[in-house]
Amino acid sequence: MDLRVAITGHVDHGKSTLIGRLLYDTGSLAEGKAEEILASSERRGLAVEWSFAVDAAQEERDQAITIETTRVWMHYGGRRIVIIDTPGHREFIKNMMSGAADADVGILVIDALEGIADQTYRHAYLLRLLDVPEIIVVVNKIDSVPDAEQRFAQISRDIRSVLETAGKPLRAIVPVSARDGDNVVNRSERTAWYAGPTLIDVLVALHPAAPLADRALRFDIADVYRFSDDERISVGNVVAGTIAPGDRVRIAPSGATTRVRGIKRFPEDGSPARAGEAVGLTFEDPVFIDRGDVVTHADQPGMLATSAFDGVFFWLSASPPRVGETLQLKVGRAEVAVTIAGIDETIDLGILDKVQPDESSRHTAFALRLRAARSVAAEADARCVLLRAGEVVGGGKLAHVEPASGQRADNLVLAGHLISSGARAHRNGYRGLVAWFTGLPGSGKSTIAMAVERELFARGYFVYVLDGDNVRSGLNRDLRFSREDRQENIRRVGEVAALFADAGAIVIASTISPHASDRAAARAAAHGAFHEIYVRASVETCESRDVKGHYAKARAGDLPDFTGVSAPYEEPEHPELLVDTNASPVDTSVSAVVEYLVHAATAKEALLSYSI
């Protein structure tokens, strides 16, 4: 197998030149290529531009920059090495990631004169995020600095401290001059103070990692084929371990167990499949299997069925992640809608330091809390991407995976209902949903909620109000008013509301729920059946009503952290419905909500989307 080596580093530190030099000195340039490079360099009035060996596009040559990643093959000492060129400009970092992601080795090129620069940090971080197994640092243009030995020692110290921060040991640090060829393939006499290996010596000592055949089985289902009537073949990849006919297996996220009947290949079936292979499986029982499912051995700890993920994502879009936003998550072959429930941390990679979340931008990393619309098979450290409107906007790894339903068993099996939501909706004639009332204390939530409940009940709907204060007297009586307890209060209301809705009820959840992230979590819990209704009234209006006397107490200092007085209320940005009680009488608001909910529960598309 070819060793894949990605050349990374800051712009103009000499990545492409290093590649040209490697190809030339190992005799890997095709016949006529050296002559073409000379001619093309001369045409542009340049000295020999070795980077033309990889910068093939006209714009790349004219501007002397690398835009798009590329691959060339190098031969040395009987080994075949794929050299992956990557661009050093910040604007082309998606191309750097695309090139370096499957490398076995990352070479980080640093200009001896300039030292560690912005993209040096960013690429160092990305090599870690991408899980590139080995990193080599090349200190280039070593001939251009006066006290080379001292400068090399200084840069070595600096880069070690950066890469230690990024948690990755270095394979080697080599001083080179790519332009002249010092210590690339041939040992240089100009660096007599350096006793270590040349770059090529370091490279040929490395080998690509073998597939994980001796690990526990993990088979990712990519598709299910039914080319003949009698046989369903689940095709996919053996990511780790070995699978053989007769093996007893468990399928995540459903938790179903069965036995492998056959390993399907063409032209001949049979024989166990090992890590790295792409084969088909048939099973003894008629289990339901879909793309994204993961097969493990039944006697091993299974994969998690989960809908709650924490992860760190490198961001590739100019538009940052927003709390409450719904994106697509791809993990393994599974794809699922996820809502961002929170942004825990923002990491600017230029200085590898934490910055304030509102300074977010492209090429920053974010620690995100995600809630999925349904359970998928996943595990900690799984590589995944986030998509917005079909475009990859972030790539990263799951840091922490919480089992579905908050249970912390590592082989949780979800019980599957035999009645679908569609069947319930069909019999009732409407679908269950969560109407989430949010607004300041005194805005009129409870008053409107109770009136809406009475009206819908009168019309024959199964409807129930989960009122914030009422829930606190029972289900949530163990909770106080700290930030954590308030968050937990809302979480429970959200989960209970989601269960009611799944059972077919129209649930009106009426709480202040001042934090957008808590509401986003409740939205995610309801799997698409969530309708945010903002009951809006100004603080002055609410305070003038003060039905419960809370505002007076809060002003007197007797009620700490009172929303609207001494604690903030984050207004919903895009509520499904806004009712303004500043001016409108209660009856008008009630009618508006009833009309909206009846439509949402009975609209043809709402029923269709649930019919299976």
What does the binding site for another protein look like in residue numbers (CB under 8 A)? Answer: 1-2, 27, 29-33, 36, 40, 54, 56-59, 67-73, 94-95, 97-98, 101-102, 130, 210-211, 222-223, 225, 227, 233, 235, 237, 264-267, 274-278, 280, 291, 316, 330, 383, 385, 390-392, 395
**CA dist 28 to 20, 83, 207, 298, 311, Å?**
10, 11, 20, 50, 42
Specify the residue, 90 or 94, whose C-beta has the smaller distance to another protein: 94
Instruction: Indicate which residue of 513, 544, 584, 609 is catalytic.
Output: 513
SS3 163: helix
β-bridge pairing 463-467 and 433-438: unpaired
CB-side neighbour CA atoms (13 Å) of 215: 11
Give least dist CB 27 to another protein, A. Answer: 7
Specify the residue, 277 or 402, whose C-beta has the smaller distance to another protein: 277
- Residue 268: alpha-carbon gap to chain centroid: 39
Q: Is 513 a catalytic residue?
A: yes
What length is written for the chain? Answer: 612
Q: What tokens appear for 412 in the block?
A: 């949780």
SS3 390: coil
Give least dist CB 515 to another protein, A. Answer: 32
Give least dist CB 22 to another protein, A. Answer: 15
- Contact between 23 and 29 (Cβ < 8 Å): yes
Specify the residue, 101 or 251, whose C-beta has the smaller distance to another protein: 101
- Contact between 37 and 138 (Cβ < 8 Å): no
Specify the residue, 97 or 340, whose C-beta has the smaller distance to another protein: 97
Give least dist CB 145 to another protein, A. Answer: 33
Beta bridge partners of 434: 507, 530
Give least dist CB 494 to another protein, A. Answer: 31
Specify the residue, 233 or 423, whose C-beta has the smaller distance to another protein: 233
* Of 561, 512, 568, 503, the residue nearest 536 (C-alpha): 512
DSSP-assigned letters across all residues of 44-91? TT-S--GGGGT--SHHHHHHT---S-EEEEEEETTEEEEEEE---SGG
Give least dist CB 6 to another protein, A. Answer: 11
- Contact between 117 and 14 (Cβ < 8 Å): no
Specify the residue, 72 or 506, whose C-beta has the smaller distance to another protein: 72
DSSP 196: S
Q: Mind telling me the catalytic residues?
A: 513
